[in-house]
Amino acid sequence: MTIGENIRRLRELHELTQRELGAIAGVSDKAVSTWENGSKMPRMTAIKRMATYFGIPAGDLLEEEKPAATATSTPFAGALSTLCLSWGRTPEQLAGDLNMSLHRFQQLSAGVAPTEEEAALITSFFRSPHTVLKDGTSPQIPDVSNVRPIHLFPSARRIPVLGRVPAGVPIEAVTDVIEEIDLSGHSVQDGYDYFGLLVTGDSMFPEYLDGDIVILRMQQTAQTGDDVVAYIGNSDATLKRLTVTENGIQLRPLNPAYETRSFSNEEIRTLPVTIAGIVIEQRRTRRHG
């Protein structure tokens, strides 16, 4: 059974829509559809989020049954992760270095135990004793101080900065694009989609000023204390600080001149109130007053 078939089976077993599973994995429903039809592979970050939600090992999403040679081996996965980080190589790069399929490398990273040949190949590549990865003993990281560091993720990717996010329009279809900016660091390849939004007005003063740019990770779930961009009914998306209560949520402006709006669980469903994304970065590139 393929990864896509496993994802579809679990989604239907838990009576989730592709949109709901996308929110769990931190991607769009379109991404889930491409996984299920086999045209694209989910990133390991998304696989681990889904596995956590379903309460299963990540390796169970990668294959239906594990023969004895591929029993779960968490110590191996942990040691492999440590060595990957120390060498500054992405999963895609390492799979190529080892002449191994990315799918198989993701299985090993998720906790599937290697074959004897795979363990020998990987430990040889990392110049580590065979027992480090095969038996999960504490790895002695090789001295690579004389090797020029290689960034774990590509340096940047371009994302749009939007002037407004109208209700009912998928973010990727919004035409009010002011500019494009670089998204750098870990966020470049963490499996999420991102967009920028121009802050207008002073309801979030003093933390956010008119003309600031906030970078948002597209997801429909958030926690108390997150700054979110949310839709209220048919209104354009608004930037507010979220508080989750037993009976609903509050969307709070930081400027005391504005009122906090509270919504019951029933109102969240009927209006509806939905989240477009959470703020992960703020950029002040404009001068004020």
Torsional class of 32: left (φ above 0), alpha (ψ -120 to 50), beta (otherwise): alpha
pLDDT at residue 228 in the model: 93
The distance between the two most distant Cα atoms of the chain, rounded to a whole number of Å, is 68
* Tokens 């958030």 belong to residue: 222
Please state which of the four CATH numbers 2.60.40, 1.10.3470, 1.10.260, 1.10.287 is assigned to the domain occupying 68-134: 1.10.260
Spatial distance between the Cα atoms of 216 and 203, rounded to a whole number of angstroms: 18
Active site residues: 203, 240
Spatial distance between the Cα atoms of 207 and 87, rounded to a whole number of angstroms: 38
Neighbours of 84 (CB within 10 A): 18
40-54, 100-114, 201-215, 272-286: range with lowest mean pLDDT = 100-114
pLDDT at residue 279 in the model: 92
Q: How would residue 172 be classed by pLDDT, with cut points 50, 70 and 90?
A: low
Instruction: Report the SS3 class of residue 95.
Output: helix
Q: What percent of the chain has pLDDT over 90?
A: 14
Q: How far is CA 160 from CA 74, 129, 142, 175, 179, in A?
A: 39, 47, 41, 10, 6
pLDDT at residue 64 in the model: 47
Same fold, 3-62 and 160-283: no
Residue 106: enclosing H or E segment and its boundaries?
Answer: helix 102-110
More confident residue, 143 or 208: 208
| Model confidence at 146: pLDDT above 90 | no
Q: Please check whether residue 44 is in contact with residue 110, taking contact to mean a CB–CB distance below 8 angstroms.
A: yes
Query: Mean pLDDT, to the nearest integer, of 54-59?
Result: 74
What is the three-state SS of 36-94? Answer: HCCCCCCCHHHHHHHHHHHCCCCHHHHCCCCCHHHCECHHHHHHHHHHHHHHCCCHHHH
* Domain residue limits, the chain: 3-62, 68-134, 160-283
Spatial distance between the Cα atoms of 280 and 214, rounded to a whole number of angstroms: 8
Q: How far is CA 237 from CA 146, 232, 264, in A?
A: 50, 7, 19
Q: Looking at the domain 160-283, which fold is it?
A: Umud Fragment, subunit A (2.10.109)
pTM value > 0.75: no
Domain 3-62 sits in CATH at 1.10.260.40
Query: What type of residue sits at position 272?
Result: P
More confident residue, 119 or 86: 119
37-41, 151-155, 280-284: range with lowest mean pLDDT = 151-155
